Structure 1
């Protein structure tokens, strides 16, 4: 048996073009990939296979979860994925059908690994090499960034917290609240959101130099050097990921570690030692389990017992690596170590890794000297008299590094001398200045690593100090205003009435006593202990904070990222944040009729058909119109003069889902759809004029009205913002109402409502209404396209040009369908059951005879339309005889992306792509931006010929005709 493996996912070849991921663990069914060897390599290059495997965990999943030949990674469920769940005992999953992404404006700072912050737009060229900080239930962690999106300008809003923190976002961007993720427009002043106060330092590029090489280990056994080289730790460069982890391990070990015979031991809390274990593993060594023992202690005559936890690095190579990096070997009090010299060469965020880890081990925790004021966190350090000079140098080095980072320190102190068995020991100390702004900088930029308790308390302290500063600023502004009003002749009572936010005594002192310096907080301002009781602190360090204002902030280009971690969130300025189809219209025109008029036609279509993000459509979207479209679909369009009766007969489900329930579509979704009726949108949505170049099955082509040389029009778009919003709305509802089911799934993006539940029925009704909207959207674009052709060719589009709809088929859809499932019985029959068939970026492909196929095509099979890229052909297929047994009556929906939009824009320049298509292939493209053209360049997609070959040879979608682009408009 032929097997393949991609990132730990094993596939077995069942037969030609069919690969199976065997069922294991909690998988409900196996998974299958329908692909050639060439396509399998491409599908296995991203997270598609793992997402497909995850999809098998959906309750009620039947037979197989399937990936089409054009499959690629999506959100939760792969694009090109098909999954059928039992309609009585299974579930329905919005994530397995498709939904939208929300956005943040340019300049928003995102928290990354190693205490770095970067502007979100700067991640575009390197997001796949980055990790973002994530708020997980178990604590703060980091996760690979798997997605970066950029959109044109959208309205954004500024949210301000009681602690003075600011972030801007689109109205639909989710923020973490105490009741889960809520979109910004659902949040009001007075509500609480979570904010992670740790800022870190700007993400400066690490300097490039060799920290250690083989010469540093010349006196060691060559086998030790070989171990380090095998782990890519020699040579060790200052920009290496391993070096950054070693900086933390080195700093902590210098404070609270010890060496034994080939052993490296770290002491600390259990939670913190787990983080140390992870970093040891990440650089290639195997740490021990966490050891636990009871130890007796005596301090100032007081005896007590406490539990000591430790973890060990058990390789001598690891020990020697830390020693060469500057870890003190032997008893620290008798050592001559100082801070490593190479720290001076590093960027701020790199130095902070070492310092914060050392402070996690050795610096005192945040604490108050008075109810509203804090001690200066301090570090003490002991050395025997002979090494006192080195001890002093070590602490002064740390002070200098902090000063370089903008953190002020108190004076260096020689605290005391004591006589011990080892001789005279000197004790030194310094502290971080307790001035409020300085403490906030220290707590939020350096702080404590490998010490979660100190870190969480520091972050709460930072929020408290920021809130205190905000209140003082408010009082200072009130004092200035009071003095200005009094100087202008206002009576003191008038001043008091106007400034009711502060008390009368404060106003009197401000006016009469002319106080010097900043005011104090009011008497009722909470003590730090009271503040700690009021706020909620998560395990990851995020602190609840009240929203004080939300205001319009204009429009801006917006961005978003997606992380691999199941929590699916990240930090933006510290805040914790987280249906389409295609139709083809035939004409009686030939390519010869069109030749020479391509540019005229593309300009006219671009002018007539709204495209791009945002509003603007063909029909006026009143509330009644939207309701009618959601209820009746294309029927409404035909009745309103936007189509002809034959359009209904040649559309999937005759352009109307009878199960549609508009009342279950939220008002917010309806409002988003009102101004987009009859518009293309953006991204991979397009209107393309094509010519038929090849006919493979003449009898079927004749039934479809296709012949070589003929001009056809392909329209690819969906339900715009209405469908996206509906899916997002129901994902949030499902997360709240069915969290128990969500907790059992391997990916939160697979959130599903149990079949038979009220929410499942509501979502299904709302989704069917969105399908009606999508069909109507394409119908109105068809109407406008007919008008343009009529104008350009001075002819009646129907009577003279024969612009009949060939077919309209949905791409992102979930449907109740009956299918034969399971193993055959003794008579060779399989059980027929009603299923929710989820098709995300896949196309229904029913064969001849199936009653859902329109009567006009029932004898030959359902038309299937497979768009290719702008520089390649597209295909018309018919539903294959094997589709029902192989893929729940489904096939591919396009060529399938090979590279992300970001990578596409790095590889291609929109203007060059546009020029090359026109000059070399006589394909004329017009779009709202060059970036859109670059994102959809021919080289961005898989080979559509190969995708269709697999479909044809498997018998799930039979080749009928091939088309080639003439002109194309995009959003």
Structure 2
């Protein structure tokens, strides 16, 4: 795999840096062997982010972009339904830059990026930073997690005293010895947390309850530990407060004695948890914050209540309950005190109260304080694992609470200004006339006549439930661009390419695109191709018009071209030039809602119409290449290139 030009290329006056080749260049090939000068020596653009940009990894911790490595797993957002997925870093690159743009949203999220870096927007898909406009809605994934920190190494389970067969099964899966740096420990922490809440272990069986989507996520994590699980469903008749209703219950089951014993050794009780004594496992307290977060988020996914408001604006205190037989009441307090201490490590305040007790049982509950700052910490630093509904509501709550905080702070500042102007001798009538568009007269009068400093949210603020309906799509929340600034900069900027089809990642909570060019690997070798080279090239030239010279295969009028611009890929599907499923693999599903043919000049339409149905000109290309040398075998193997002489397109 050739990472760039090995020797020389010539850059034209309009040239700038790109992957492989510069943009706007020519290249000479094999001058001593009937070589050619190619005006198509064109690379593809690099869109980059400065050092210190926080990239969210799949384990919920943040890593500076310059510290990422090949094979690291990051969060990306599905193009289809905007839910979070996992992708691997397959390319890492950097370059120098002298200008950086800073984008700030209404709720306060900020991203610094080069002018050409694409950000996901609501209406136009991926849009370059320098083409964003104030008021545009951009996609935000507001969960931040905590910074990555390498754990101090210590042993959790040595396994020396375990039965031979159990030890063998755990070693086979890389689970023994289990240390704080074992690569599988993060997944164990999430599962352990969830099972302590909504799972049971008994004999050799693990059983976990939840919705199908979330159980599927747990199933994938169990596979990473080397265990296979199945998801079952059944209709269940339920009774609640006098109501009888049917419910579709989903359960995940694993029959593996080694997994059950592992969870038990780590502190998960067997059988009925109300009659079992257990605490927060000792080793959790010794781990770095990002790993503690995995345990808590797993437990919260099972037990912590969802974000919910009292009146549409103010939130209930999130709570979780634990029920024990009366003689284990002390143990219940100890467990919740452990959870509370872990929360304190994140700066999150909580209280423990007794909910009820009867002759046989006692119920305690942990309540997280519901002031905005505390809730933002809870939802943005810890959140929920294995509970997609609560995760999405938490993401919405983060942005909503930030907006609410901003509005209240602005009203506090205005209250001070009103008081100062009145004390300077400005008549009340003048002040009312000046500020009536921002606040009502009652607010102005209270500000100037009383010593009130605090302020409430204004009437007309959107209710949280309505905010969720209007601003949330899948796992992302749409937030308005408030400000865009270009700033001088002199230093390195970085970019990554993610392996999955989404080709995006989360940078400082913004959904941003990575860059790439499509490469098709074949199983053909150069010797297979040589006898048919001329026939192949002739066939390609005949069937894939380049767009320059004879143009494309489709001839249409300017008025028909307007329909193409308006309808996008739907125009092509209706006329048999594309398949309906093609839409799912094209940005914006091949149809930009905001498209306006009137904004395109007649000259541009006349130049572009002949290229419809072609490869296109400029740096659009189709090449058949042979692998001449492999510089990085690990990276090459990941994309299916293993041998010199292999043919790629």
- Range of TM-score over shorter length: 0.7 to 0.9
Q: CA deviation at 1:483?
A: 2.6
Q: Distance in 2 between matches of 1:427 and 1:286?
A: 35
* Gap change, CA 1:736 and 1:198, over 3 Å in 2: farther
Contact 2:547 2:615 in 1 (8 A): no
What are the residue-to-residue correspondences of 1:172-251 with 2, within 5 Å?
172-179=116-123, 180-215=125-160, 218-220=161-163, 222-251=164-193
Q: Distance in 1 between matches of 2:382 and 2:423?
A: 45
Contact 2:232 2:251 in 1 (8 A): yes
Q: Which ranges in structure 1 are unaligned for 5 or more consecutive residues?
A: 1-41, 47-71, 75-94, 579-656, 663-732, 771-812, 815-837, 843-890, 902-941, 955-971
The residue aligned with 1:437 is 373
Q: CA deviation at 1:129?
A: 3.7
Q: Distance in 1 between matches of 2:384 and 2:86?
A: 17
Are 2:506 and 1:571 aligned?
A: yes
The equivalent position to 2:611 in structure 1, one of 761, 765, 774, is 761
The residue aligned with 1:614 is none
The equivalent position to 2:413 in structure 1, one of 467, 474, 477, is 477
Are 2:489 and 1:547 aligned?
A: no
Are 2:410 and 1:454 aligned?
A: no
Q: CA deviation at 1:99?
A: 2.2
Are 2:45 and 1:103 aligned?
A: no
Contact 2:324 2:362 in 1 (8 A): yes
The residue aligned with 2:272 is 331
The residue aligned with 1:15 is none
The residue aligned with 1:292 is 233
* Gap change, CA 1:760 and 1:502, over 3 Å in 2: farther
Contact 2:71 2:90 in 1 (8 A): no
Contact 2:498 2:504 in 1 (8 A): yes
Contact 2:171 2:177 in 1 (8 A): yes
* Gap change, CA 1:556 and 1:466, over 3 Å in 2: farther
Are 2:623 and 1:839 aligned?
A: yes
Are 2:190 and 1:255 aligned?
A: no
What are the residue-to-residue correspondences of 1:265-414 with 2, within 5 Å?
265-288=207-230, 290-410=231-351, 412-414=352-354
Q: CA deviation at 1:763?
A: 9.0
Q: Distance in 1 between matches of 2:457 and 2:418?
A: 17
* Gap change, CA 1:575 and 1:759, over 3 Å in 2: farther
Q: CA deviation at 1:507?
A: 2.6
Q: Distance in 2 between matches of 1:394 and 1:345?
A: 17
* Gap change, CA 1:440 and 1:736, over 3 Å in 2: farther
Q: Distance in 1 between matches of 2:255 and 2:173?
A: 15
Q: Distance in 2 between matches of 1:245 and 1:742?
A: 39
Q: CA deviation at 1:355?
A: 0.8
The residue aligned with 1:141 is 85
Residues 302-337 of structure 1 deviation map (CA, whole Å, 9 limit, x = unaligned): 333211100112211111111111111111001011
SS at match of 2:617: helix
Q: CA deviation at 1:165?
A: 1.2
Contact 1:661 1:766 in 2 (8 A): no
Q: CA deviation at 1:528?
A: 1.5
The residue aligned with 1:157 is 101
Q: CA deviation at 1:553?
A: 3.1
Residues 539-592 of structure 1 deviation map (CA, whole Å, 9 limit, x = unaligned): 2x11111112212233253211111111011111111110xxxxxxxxxxxxxx
Contact 2:184 2:224 in 1 (8 A): yes
Q: CA deviation at 1:758?
A: 7.0
Q: Distance in 1 between matches of 2:358 and 2:173?
A: 45
Contact 1:273 1:311 in 2 (8 A): yes
Structure having greater relative contact order (Cα 8 Å, sep ≥ 6): 2
The equivalent position to 1:464 in structure 2, one of 384, 400, 403, is 400
* Gap change, CA 1:493 and 1:164, over 3 Å in 2: farther
* Gap change, CA 1:432 and 1:737, over 3 Å in 2: farther
**Rg larger for:** 1
Q: CA deviation at 1:534?
A: 2.3
* Gap change, CA 1:766 and 1:271, over 3 Å in 2: closer
Contact 1:566 1:748 in 2 (8 A): no
Q: Distance in 1 between matches of 2:179 and 2:304?
A: 29
Are 2:48 and 1:264 aligned?
A: no
Contact 2:118 2:512 in 1 (8 A): yes
Q: Distance in 2 between matches of 1:743 and 1:484?
A: 63
Are 2:600 and 1:659 aligned?
A: no
Q: Distance in 2 between matches of 1:458 and 1:382?
A: 26
Q: Distance in 2 between matches of 1:148 and 1:496?
A: 57
Q: CA deviation at 1:741?
A: 6.1
Q: CA deviation at 1:244?
A: 0.4
Q: Distance in 2 between matches of 1:553 and 1:332?
A: 58
Q: Distance in 2 between matches of 1:398 and 1:264?
A: 23
Q: Which ranges in structure 2 are unaligned for 5 or more consecutive residues?
A: 4-18, 22-39, 514-545, 552-566, 592-606, 636-640
Q: Distance in 1 between matches of 2:20 and 2:238?
A: 56
Contact 1:661 1:765 in 2 (8 A): no
SS at match of 1:164: coil
Q: CA deviation at 1:298?
A: 2.6
SS at match of 1:767: coil
* Gap change, CA 1:99 and 1:745, over 3 Å in 2: farther
Q: CA deviation at 1:459?
A: 1.3
SS at match of 2:86: strand
Q: Distance in 1 between matches of 2:609 and 2:126?
A: 18
Q: CA deviation at 1:660?
A: 6.8
The residue aligned with 1:957 is none
Q: CA deviation at 1:147?
A: 1.5
* Gap change, CA 1:547 and 1:483, over 3 Å in 2: same
The residue aligned with 1:920 is none
Count how many residue pairs are aligned between Structure 1 and Structure 2: 536
* Gap change, CA 1:140 and 1:483, over 3 Å in 2: same
Q: Distance in 2 between matches of 1:442 and 1:270?
A: 25
SS at match of 1:509: helix
Are 2:395 and 1:506 aligned?
A: no
Contact 2:547 2:614 in 1 (8 A): no
* Gap change, CA 1:660 and 1:895, over 3 Å in 2: farther
Q: Distance in 2 between matches of 1:746 and 1:73?
A: 29
TM-score with structure 1 setting the length: 0.51
Q: Distance in 2 between matches of 1:440 and 1:378?
A: 15
Contact 1:356 1:449 in 2 (8 A): yes
Residues 491-510 of structure 1 deviation map (CA, whole Å, 9 limit, x = unaligned): 33443455443334323322
Q: CA deviation at 1:737?
A: 8.2
Residues 794-837 of structure 1 deviation map (CA, whole Å, 9 limit, x = unaligned): xxxxxxxxxxxxxxxxxxx73xxxxxxxxxxxxxxxxxxxxxxx
SS at match of 1:198: coil
* Gap change, CA 1:503 and 1:271, over 3 Å in 2: same
The equivalent position to 1:119 in structure 2, one of 64, 82, 99, is 64
Residues 440-490 of structure 1 deviation map (CA, whole Å, 9 limit, x = unaligned): 110111121111111111111221111111111222222222233333333
The residue aligned with 2:595 is none
The residue aligned with 1:171 is 115
Q: CA deviation at 1:430?
A: 1.3
* Gap change, CA 1:742 and 1:570, over 3 Å in 2: farther
Q: Distance in 2 between matches of 1:525 and 1:243?
A: 44
